[in-house]
Amino acid sequence: MMLFIGIRWQLDFPRKCLKYTDQYSPGLDIVDPIPHKVQFNGTLGFPSPFTGKPSQEIDDAWAEHDTVIEKTRFLTVTADELRDMGWDPADGVKVPEEYGGGYMAYPEVTHMLHCVNFLRMATFPEYYNINTKASIEWDEKDPRIIRPHLDHCAEMLRQSISCKADVTLMTYNRVKGYPKPLPDFSTRHKCRNLPSVLDWLKSRAIPAPPPEYAFPYAPDSRLFSKSPQPDVYLKMHPDAKTEYGRPVAEIVEI
């Protein structure tokens, strides 16, 4: 019996570690808990399919990437899972049963990848102001909208990087003809298995949702009188000025 318990504990150990180091998510019970050794390619000028001078090929690479992400952009979680995440289900958005039931959620990996691509496009404003097909958001062109969006993405990435506080060390090399040591940016890491994460996201994705995810209002859900986002968010999303046909100003203060 003790041998069985010991073996079971060893098998569960990687997932226990994952749950200890990560904020709770129902995905922690499903995704591959074993980290994978990966060496980054930090070579300057490395021809990544996702970076470089704007081209149709690069836009296609991001479009293919975004297609996978877009299909898993919004998920459903149960009321208990929402509580375990630290949120009150009464504050959440209920998803009708025909769309999977539960409550609406958005995976952080999707948000962060969106921000990386948005910042990438910002470095080529002339190209993306013309070729707006690469990004629906860029079609807005209004600097009052784009600038806060860019600042938001930069700040979210800053907070995420600071939160993880990666202590992986970068080393240096001596190169003939160069008096100073040169950094080797191709650091080694232990990474989460992204395909297993995407598989889990797909299993929770909301199938064929209505436009703008405008689900019917559930009577037992809480309506906030003021958006947690500043006024600029309402400019970015004009449809958010009303809640299920009711002006925000008419919603009862809570």
pLDDT at 60 over 70: yes
pLDDT at 120 over 50: yes
Per-residue pLDDT reduced to its tens digit, 164-210? 999 999 999 999 999 999 999 999 999 999 899 989 998 998 887 77
Per-residue pLDDT reduced to its tens digit, 4-37? 444 555 557 888 988 888 899 999 999 999 999 9
Between the ranges 29-33, 45-49, 165-169, 226-230, where is the mean pLDDT highest?
165-169
pLDDT of residue 233: 58
Please answer whether residues 223 and 252 qualify as being in contact, where contact means their C-beta atoms are separated by less than 8 angstroms: yes
Per-residue pLDDT reduced to its tens digit, 67-113? 666 666 789 999 999 999 999 999 999 998 888 899 999 999 888 98
